[in-house]
Amino acid sequence: MASPVTVSLGDITTDKLIDAFGKDSLGILVVKDLPKEYHDLRKKVLTQVSYLTRLDKQSLQDLECPEGYYLTGWSLGKEKLANGVADELKGSFYINCSFFKDPTLEGPPPDEIRGYENYKAYTTWNKWPKEALDELKGFQQNCKALISLMIEISLQICEKIDSYCENHLQNYQPGYLESIIRGSTTSKARLLHYLPNTSSSQSDWCGEHCDHSCITALTSALFFDGDSELTASPDPSAGLYIKDRRGNIVKVNIPPDCLAFQSGSALEEVSGHQFKAVPHYVKGTTMPGISRNTLAVFLQPSLHAMVNENETFAQFADRILRHNH
């Protein structure tokens, strides 16, 4: 049975990526020996998201963006589970990552929106909460710093994928993946707050799916028992599960000092199906009062970038999203 590939940040190689993302892999790479600032930022952001979710009803509604499919700002109960029921198991705070390309941007600039007016899931600009609460001081700054660091690390992985594709695909444009991610104005970050269980049965906090990004960067989770932060998950069965290339289900534990990277559906397209998207889900806990916070950064191209011979990323993403909302 496949297991996660773990590598030091300075030792990411093409061979390691094949082990992590290739046809016989689990589809996940765990990176250790991260910059010191990562650990402080992760702790700050994943703690602050709990306070965000406790804002009053009006404040949370002000952060919603219905015209953008609720994929900007706050979202709870807007997505549908596989059975068609509204997802009330987790709250999300979505952040457009265009500030990585240009610190003045909170979404795609006007010239990139032109012709894509109907793709508001990606063209709506960020909505940030007021930082009146002491617990939310510096929230925007902390989020942007952590996300930018995660993107920088992701780009090192993109460079190695490009090297592989250049050697194994005909007419692959050198450096293509790295360039479309570095210049993207539609990468998305998702702060996730998995709500405490209110029943005696165990349910999935997040059902099985594949991300439609090229690569997803994922922090390890912080667990809370009420207001108290826990040093580890209190339930060994709760957390991230991945279906490997042979259909086996594997539980993946991301160490607190590591980042994980998963392959998504857009990478499958860009790489000519050399790298497959990884199906995964998050299992909840039967233990009362336990919540889980994490941050996923979906590295994906700008709307106009081609992901295959026939589709821009906008067309590809729109096709995927219509099945989820």
> Which tens digit of pLDDT belongs to each residue from 82-140?
656 667 778 999 999 999 999 999 999 999 999 999 889 899 999 999 998 899 999 99
Q: CA nearest 77: which of 86, 66, 64? A: 86
Which alpha helices (DSSP H) does 31-171 contain, by range?
Answer: 36-53, 57-62, 110-113, 120-123, 139-168
Q: CA nearest 129: which of 189, 66, 70, 52? A: 52
In the block, residue with structure tokens 């063209």: 123
Q: How far is CA 199 from CA 7, 230, 286, in A?
A: 39, 21, 7
Burial of 279 (0-12, 13-18, 19+ CB in 10 A): middle
Helix (H, G, I), strand (E, B) or coil at 107: coil
In the block, residue with structure tokens 């609720």: 70
Helix (H, G, I), strand (E, B) or coil at 6: strand
**Residue 205: its pLDDT value, please?**
65
**Partners of 5 in the β-ladder:** 29
pTM score over 0.85: yes
Structure tokens at 297: 């950064």
**Residue 208: its pLDDT value, please?**
78
Question: What are the residue ranges in the chain where pLDDT is below 70?
Answer: 1-2, 80-86, 199-205, 321-325
- Tally Cβ neighbours within 10 Å of residue 287: 15
**Residue 37: its pLDDT value, please?**
97
Q: CA nearest 188: which of 243, 263, 125? A: 125
The Cα–Cα gap between 92 and 90 comes to: 7
Q: Which residues contact 36 (CB under 8 A, 6 or more apart)?
A: none
**Residue 88: its pLDDT value, please?**
73
| CATH annotation of 5-321 | 2.60.120.330
What are the residue boundaries of the structural domains of the chain, listed by start?
5-321
